């Protein structure tokens, strides 16, 4: 057991098996085996947007068979083997929707969620827009929403033929519509109020 993050070699590659032995309080993600420290508690704007999404999603998915989770919630994205020592990517999306119940266990989710929402915060833009974009695409996340609170815009990516296709940006005056979940619509101004 490692109880101090400073005891870790940040240049080393770690697996989910390693991750399970860490008892320190800092939150982090593993992106292809590399440690990414998560920022301290998200700011108020981030939390308000997350709450609005969660409320709409909760009502939409209630009784649907799909499950809704918000951070902190571990999503393990295996490359090939599903053994803990062979999993090198563990992320904590702000919000995720998982419709395949076999992917959910006591440790979180094993495999790609159907829908992932990431809300950008200062300091995580590059990781969310580049690193996690690529990871979610490779893992098979069907729909990925990137929320930019400062500009009040949402970027929607839909997986087609194993590649994310970017749809037109959704702005404050628009209605955000899911590509994969029929009738899931959100007035964007409601998210940013």
Domains of the chain, by residue range, sit at 41-191
pTM of the complete model beyond 0.85: yes
**Residue spans of the chain under pLDDT 50:** none
Instruction: Name every residue whose Cβ is closer than 8 Å to that of residue 33 and which is 6 or more positions away in sequence.
Output: 13, 14, 15, 88, 89
Q: How many CB atoms lie within 10 A of CB 13?
A: 12
pLDDT tens readout for residues 143-182: 999 999 999 999 999 999 999 999 999 999 999 999 999 9
Task: Determine the pLDDT at residue 124.
Answer: 66
CA distance 66 to 191: 22
CA distance 23 to 4: 8
Closest by CA to 139, choosing from 173, 100, 178, 105, is 100
Task: Determine the pLDDT at residue 41.
Answer: 66
CA distance 179 to 193: 24
Answer left, alpha or beta for residue 80, where phi above 0 means left and psi between -120 and 50 means alpha: alpha
Domain 41-191 CATH superfamily? tt1808, chain A (3.90.1570.10)
Task: Determine the pLDDT at residue 43.
Answer: 84
Task: Determine the pLDDT at residue 126.
Answer: 73
Task: Determine the pLDDT at residue 11.
Answer: 92
CA distance 99 to 190: 26
């Amino acid at each position: 057991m490692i109880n101090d993050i400073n005891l870790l070699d940040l240049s080393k590659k770690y697996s989910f098996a390693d991750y399970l032995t860490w008892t320190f309080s800092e939150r982090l993600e593993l992106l292809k085996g590399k440690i990414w420290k998560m920022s301290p508690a998200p700011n108020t704007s981030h939390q308000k947007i997350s709450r609005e999404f969660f409320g709409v999603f909760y009502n939409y998915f209630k009784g649907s068979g799909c499950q809704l989770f918000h951070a902190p919630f571990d999503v393990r994205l295996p490359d090939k083997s599903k053994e803990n020592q062979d999993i090198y990517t563990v992320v904590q999306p702000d919000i995720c929707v998982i419709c395949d119940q076999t992917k959910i266990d006591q440790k979180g989710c094993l495999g790609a969620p159907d829908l992932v929402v990431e809300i950008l915060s200062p300091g995580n833009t590059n990781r969310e827009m580049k690193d996690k974009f690529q990871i979610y695409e490779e893992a098979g996340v069907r729909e990925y929403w990137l929320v930019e609170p400062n500009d009040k815009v949402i970027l929607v990516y839909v997986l087609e033929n194993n590649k994310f296709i970017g749809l037109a940006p959704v702005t404050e005056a628009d209605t955000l519509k899911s590509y994969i979940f029929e009738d899931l619509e959100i007035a964007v101004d409601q998210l940013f109020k």
